[in-house]
Structure 1
Amino acid sequence: MSRRPLVLTALAAAALVVGAVAPAANASPTEPSTPVPISAPDGTIMSYVLNAKAANPGQVRLVERAVAAAGGVVVQSWPEIGVVVAHSQRAAFRADVVAAGGNALASVGATRTVPVTEGTPAGALAPWGPGSSGWKADAKKKFNGDIEASTTPADSLDAREGDQWDMRMINADKAHQITDGSSNVLVGILDSGIDPVHPDLVANIDVADSVNCTDAGRPDTSASGWYPTTSDHGTHVAGTIAAARNGVGIVGVAPGVRIASVKVVNDDGFIYPEYAICGFVWAGLKHMDVTNNSYYVDPFEYWCDDQIDQAAAKEAVRRAVEWSTTQGVANVAAAGNSAVDLANKTVDKGSPDDGTPVVRTINAGCEDLPAELPGVVTVSSVTSTGALSSFSNRGLGKIDVAAPGSSILSTIVRNHGYGLKSGTSMASPHVTGVLALMKSVHPTWTPMQLMDKLAEQAMPHACSIASGPVCTGTPDDNSYYGNGIVDALAAVQ
């Protein structure tokens, strides 16, 4: 989704910072990225991630003490990955915590360019701030422009499997003749929440393993914390993955598996690093089998290694993804809806998206999170004809597989009904569902075995578009389709 719940964005029209210099059109992927300083004046509560040099309780405790010594408050500690989330209202916090952290601290960085609004733990320096009252129009960009084309109340429908061209394209209908998937398989949907009473979803939701991570990056397990509030993006994604076979509505790719709502999108549509970190660690702690990530981490569309704040946050998210994989989780991510070649990107026009965007030069060390992280299955979107969707990102060596993402019918919150959305956000859940089916028939396979077999079994698709962006590579591995369009039938045979 990205904040992207990956649907189409309006960021390209955003105003530029006064005095900002636009990068040259022929910028090199190796030149330094444009700095984006994050101002944190005294009295303004900001959020930070701190990476310990080692992922163990002792090192984390030293970092926690450094936070207190520098005038900050620990919000959440994750000793599993050596990451601490902290708030501070001191302008000198970053410098002071580095000095206090000594040999225990590897890096520290601000996670956003605006003050914290969701509050700080008891004993902090400021009272709880007001919650956001609504979903900003701009927030839709976070879901990469998912476009809702129609809605239909559930009680007016008979089964609509016949309308699901996407399932036929990936052979899910044929796979269902063998299996609908196992209830032993648990899929984490890191998104905006799932409609808890939708007739096509309620039977498959694992309430006990659902969580809300938007409380400043702390896991909130309250009864309704993981419910959707301002977006139905997560509900649409959930339907594609696991809408039940129950005689009404639609049928998901893996209608027999369980799904957990891992809410990482706040009411303004943002997915900050600490939210994503919480989501991935939660998935690992609960030993989920697959996660779907239809978003990019805010506020930067691309997080750069040569920028101190961005590098620290990027490292924290990377650690969370890597650790979840060691716990048996296969992670799937949408490639993004900016129609960009991820292997040759040099300009970012929409970051930071929580403040005033700057047109900035980026380089090969600037990456979309989590789509470009190691060990993540990155998915591009195709239309009903098999053509690359006009909005989809691409990139040789960046795209692993492709799946349907244009005009996808699935579940929505309104009237507990159904609607059409388009985006790479809609493509990745097809892949997540295929992996869930594969895990159902191969329960002992590791994430790497699942991902290797997914690529091996994908249906090769040659570059077939005569005009438009250049497609590079071979039919078996190219910049549009990666190893090909996923095949649910092959996954269960």
Structure 2
Amino acid sequence: MAKKTVGSGVSAQATPGPNLSSSIDELLLAATARGDGTLRTGRYVVTFKEGAGSPTDNLTSLGLRTADARDFADQSLEIADVGDAHAIVLPEIGVAVVSDLGMQTAGLSIEAEAASDSAIQTIEDEYFVFAQQETSDYLRGFLKATEAIIAGLELDQMRKEELDFEAEVAGATWGLVACRVPQSSRSGAGVKVAVLDTGMDLGHPDFAGRPIVTSSFVGQPVQDLHSHGTHCIGTACGPKAPAGSIPRYGIAHSASIFVGKVLSNSGNGSSASVLAGMNWAIANGCAVISMSLGSQSPVQAAYTAAGQAALNRGCLIIAAAGNASSNTGAPANSPTIMSVGSLDQTLVPSNFSNFGKMEIAAPGRDVFSSVPRPTRYGTKSGTSMATPHVAGCAALWAQTSPSLRGQALWNRMLQAARPLPFPQAKVGRGLVQAPA
């Protein structure tokens, strides 16, 4: 593998940027100090050509110290534990995350074109990603996150959820009714569903006795101190019959839940944590991978490669389009990842929902679901809330036939979608529907 020359983006004389083991808070603070107003973390993502050999071997040949996800149990790679490695390798998706020092050591740059004998397909900036909730835009969320860290605030623990039962219809939330979930005979039994988010309240009583596999990729316990992840898991995989007067809010109530904490308790992450979570979910054979996260960044080859690797392995990645009232953000803008837009209760596109590259739409306004104790239940809005509706329905469809996996599952869900009188750029093929 030929070395690349150092381009203007990575200078051999420059002060090295963030380490691979830097926490998301450290990355955010460094980006604030840099002051360039971008969503770049200062690290890089390398995507390798298919069939180009081992990414680890290729990087090692360039003099880099690597940490391979296969060296961790179930490929549950904890980024905070990679020590002084220059690169982390995610073999299921053919991607590596490389520090600035690693780029300098290997003589790599974004600007330089790969030599004909290079195993590298692309080198891209790594970006921050955020939980996609409400109508806040990504840059404002970035600045708010850094301000919270600097002030040392525990904003997430102060967040209070407001109960709202106006959406209760026939014992189920309005979203489940719109997706025809109550009429479905399927439960998601035997299907693995991964939700990559802020984690989960593992002690929530509505999930007692459920098979749950967990892993964290952000250096924090999986326990959700934010609430975004618990809410998304509730919609995708919550119980069929919650206790008391609580309406049904969960879709795939018998699915096996895989919780990947790729966003911190502040709701922030990076491409590295998300890609590591995707790699883990694929390695563990999750038929459905739900991601209510992203940023207003361009299409990234690493996400596209991860989406294709998932489809090749019989997995389907579903991601939120974003809430910036703008073009679909990453990773949902990749052609190999199913993009989800948000609908209001009148089944019109939500005013915050992104548009452009769009496959399908789902309920995203005033969605009732689980949140961490002691509150236990609450409503949220965003394409984040629409995405687990699609993921839950995908698990029900996957249960109907072992042949409905990967691209076949994608195709079947679009075929079954309820058409809506709006442009495809806003709602895709229409409103997601559960199988009978």
Q: Smaller-chain TM-score range?
A: 0.7 to 0.9
> 1:90, 1:450 → 2: CA distance?
39
> 2:209, 2:52 → 1: CA distance?
39
* 1:224-279 superposed Cα distances (whole Å, 9 cap, x missing partner): 832223x1101000111111134414441121212110111134432311112111
SS of the equivalent of 2:45 reads: strand
Q: Give the 3 Å change call, closer, same or farther, for CA 332–138 of structure 1 in structure 2.
A: farther
The answer for the alignment partner of 1:30 in structure 2 is: none
Q: Give the 3 Å change call, closer, same or farther, for CA 149–78 of structure 1 in structure 2.
A: closer
TM-fit CA distance, 1:64:
2.4
The two structures, once aligned, show a CA RMSD in angstroms of 3.3
Q: Does 1:457 align with 2:416?
A: yes
* 1:430-476 superposed Cα distances (whole Å, 9 cap, x missing partner): 1111111111122232222211111111111113xxxxxxxx4xxxx
Residue identity matched to 1:232: S
The answer for the alignment partner of 2:301 in structure 1 is: 315
The answer for the alignment partner of 2:430 in structure 1 is: 484
The answer for the alignment partner of 2:171 in structure 1 is: 162
> 1:181, 1:292 → 2: CA distance?
14
- 5+ residue gaps in structure 1? 1-35, 114-133, 140-147, 154-158, 216-223, 305-313, 343-367, 464-471, 473-477
The answer for the alignment partner of 1:417 in structure 2 is: 376
Q: What is the TM-score when the length of structure 2 is the normalising length?
A: 0.72
The answer for the alignment partner of 2:186 in structure 1 is: 179
The answer for the alignment partner of 2:322 in structure 1 is: 336
The answer for the alignment partner of 2:339 in structure 1 is: 378
> 1:424, 1:274 → 2: CA distance?
22
The answer for the alignment partner of 1:407 in structure 2 is: 366
The answer for the alignment partner of 1:433 in structure 2 is: 392
Q: What is the TM-score when the length of structure 1 is the normalising length?
A: 0.64
Residue identity matched to 1:437: L
SS of the equivalent of 2:276 reads: helix
> 1:81, 1:165 → 2: CA distance?
37
Report the more deviating stretch, 380-389 or 98-107.
98-107
Residue identity matched to 2:366: S
Q: Give the 3 Å change call, closer, same or farther, for CA 99–434 of structure 1 in structure 2.
A: closer
Residue identity matched to 2:118: N
Q: Give the 3 Å change call, closer, same or farther, for CA 173–81 of structure 1 in structure 2.
A: closer
TM-fit CA distance, 1:341:
4.6
> 1:91, 1:79 → 2: CA distance?
19
Q: Contact conserved, 1:52 with 1:60, CA < 8 A, in 2?
A: no
Match among 42, 62, 77 for residue 15 of structure 2: 42
Match among 189, 192, 195 for residue 189 of structure 1: 195
Q: Contact conserved, 2:47 with 2:305, CA < 8 A, in 1?
A: no
> 2:322, 2:267 → 1: CA distance?
16
> 1:264, 1:444 → 2: CA distance?
29
Match among 270, 286, 289 for residue 288 of structure 1: 286
Residue identity matched to 2:236: I
* 1:34-68 superposed Cα distances (whole Å, 9 cap, x missing partner): xx968994154353333334455545312123143
Q: Does 1:211 align with 2:215?
A: yes
Q: Does 1:236 align with 2:231?
A: yes
> 1:96, 1:377 → 2: CA distance?
32
* 1:76-121 superposed Cα distances (whole Å, 9 cap, x missing partner): 22233332223344784473578999734444344258xxxxxxxx
Q: Give the 3 Å change call, closer, same or farther, for CA 393–275 of structure 1 in structure 2.
A: same
SS of the equivalent of 1:239 reads: helix
Q: Give the 3 Å change call, closer, same or farther, for CA 444–151 of structure 1 in structure 2.
A: same
TM-fit CA distance, 1:192:
0.7
Q: Contact conserved, 1:53 with 1:59, CA < 8 A, in 2?
A: no
Matches within 5 A, 1:56-455: 57-58=53-54, 60-68=56-64, 73-89=85-101, 92-93=104-105, 95=107, 103-112=118-127, 150-151=161-162, 162=171, 164-175=173-184, 178-182=185-189, 184-207=190-213, 210-215=214-219, 225-229=221-225, 231-248=226-243, 249=246, 250-297=248-295, 301-303=296-298, 314-342=300-328, 368-395=329-356, 398-415=357-374, 417-455=376-414
Q: What percent of counterpart residues are identical?
A: 26
- 5+ residue gaps in structure 2? 1-7, 20-42, 67-83, 129-143, 150-158
Q: Contact conserved, 2:63 with 2:106, CA < 8 A, in 1?
A: no
Residue identity matched to 2:342: S
> 1:161, 1:74 → 2: CA distance?
55
> 1:95, 1:43 → 2: CA distance?
13
Q: Contact conserved, 2:92 with 2:283, CA < 8 A, in 1?
A: no
Matches within 5 A, 1:15-26: none
Q: Contact conserved, 2:307 with 2:316, CA < 8 A, in 1?
A: no
Q: Contact conserved, 1:237 with 1:426, CA < 8 A, in 2?
A: yes
Residue identity matched to 1:64: T
Relative contact order: is structure 1 or structure 2 higher (C-alpha 8 Å, sep ≥ 6)? Answer: 1
SS of the equivalent of 1:174 reads: coil
> 2:427, 2:315 → 1: CA distance?
24
The answer for the alignment partner of 1:352 in structure 2 is: none
Residue identity matched to 1:417: R
SS of the equivalent of 2:107 reads: helix
> 1:255, 1:414 → 2: CA distance?
20
Q: Give the 3 Å change call, closer, same or farther, for CA 203–106 of structure 1 in structure 2.
A: same
Q: Contact conserved, 2:10 with 2:100, CA < 8 A, in 1?
A: no
Q: Give the 3 Å change call, closer, same or farther, for CA 69–279 of structure 1 in structure 2.
A: closer
Q: Contact conserved, 2:291 with 2:317, CA < 8 A, in 1?
A: yes
Q: Contact conserved, 1:151 with 1:414, CA < 8 A, in 2?
A: no
Q: Contact conserved, 2:290 with 2:388, CA < 8 A, in 1?
A: yes
Aligned length in residues: 355
> 2:363, 2:169 → 1: CA distance?
17
TM-fit CA distance, 1:370:
1.6
* 1:127-164 superposed Cα distances (whole Å, 9 cap, x missing partner): xxxxxxx965679xxxxxxxx884459xxxxx997361
The answer for the alignment partner of 1:10 in structure 2 is: none
> 1:69, 1:401 → 2: CA distance?
42
Residue identity matched to 1:257: A
Q: Give the 3 Å change call, closer, same or farther, for CA 75–228 of structure 1 in structure 2.
A: farther
